[in-house]
Amino acid sequence: MIGIIGAMEEEVAALKEAMQVESVTEYASMTFCKGVLCGKEVVIVRSGIGKVNAGICAQILVDKFGVNALINTGIAGSLNAKIDIGDVVVSKEALHHDMDATEFGDPIGQVPRMDTLAFPADEHLIRLAKAANEKVNPDIHTFVGTVASGDQFIASQEAKDKIVNNFHAYCTEMEGAAIAHAAYLNKVSYVIIRAISDKADNSAHVDYPEFEKMAIARNIKLVQEMLTSM
């Protein structure tokens, strides 16, 4: 069973429309649609925005539906000059850029008393996502790198530079690390797929509305192709 999480309804609506729905269940004020998509058994859900929502959602998928793989699809801000609006970032790993226990001697981003700073994505899922995007969206570039998550919409050069300097991440968003964290603790595989909607700097408020729909549409095609090849 594969769990597919999007923070916003726009990120999963087309996938739910394309699937054969077998059941709809509500947990923690989230609606979980179980069924078949591209020949695979899936559960598709809108988690809501932010790391707490995303972490709760991932845990429900594991506990209530027994998923063994999590796919997080959505949009993000680019942290790398080579990664343009419309391009796709596939997670090599994910981390919490807003975790700060440096006062206790931990490096920035480290969850205290955990045995890892970053949560590695599943290598097989990474390869599938990269190949799927190159097939269905050949006009854009695919990058595999670190995804940095925090409960902040990054829209200033200062905030962007801080994340880049600390983590050398490729993109920033608000849910992925929580899903990766849950996957790590539950020993299930995961991958984060992020279409770039803005440059996570002073232009973010201008770029975001214009490119959000385009980015989501590309991600939908990617996820469907990925499921077909699994």
* pTM reported for the whole predicted model: 0.94
210 pLDDT higher than 90: no
Residue 198 annotated among the catalytic residues of the structure: yes
Mean pLDDT over the full length of the chain: 94
Residue 84 annotated among the catalytic residues of the structure: no
- Reported as a single tens digit per residue, the pLDDT across 36-88 is 999 999 999 999 999 999 999 999 999 999 999 999 999 999 999 899 888 99
Give the pair of three-digit tokens for residue 210: 């214009």
* Mean local confidence (pLDDT), 16-44: 97
Chain-centroid distance, C-alpha 47:
11
- Reported as a single tens digit per residue, the pLDDT across 83-139 is 988 899 999 999 999 999 999 999 999 999 999 999 999 999 999 999 999 999 999
Catalytic entry in 93, 198, 201, 207 = 198
- CA distance to 12, 17, 129, 169, 230, per residue, from 134 (Å): 21, 24, 9, 21, 16
SS3 of residue 6 by DSSP: strand
Catalytic entry in 11, 201, 207, 225 = 11
Beta bridge partners of 142: 88
Give the pair of three-digit tokens for residue 155: 């829209």
- The closest of 229, 106, 116 to 180, measured between CA atoms, is 116
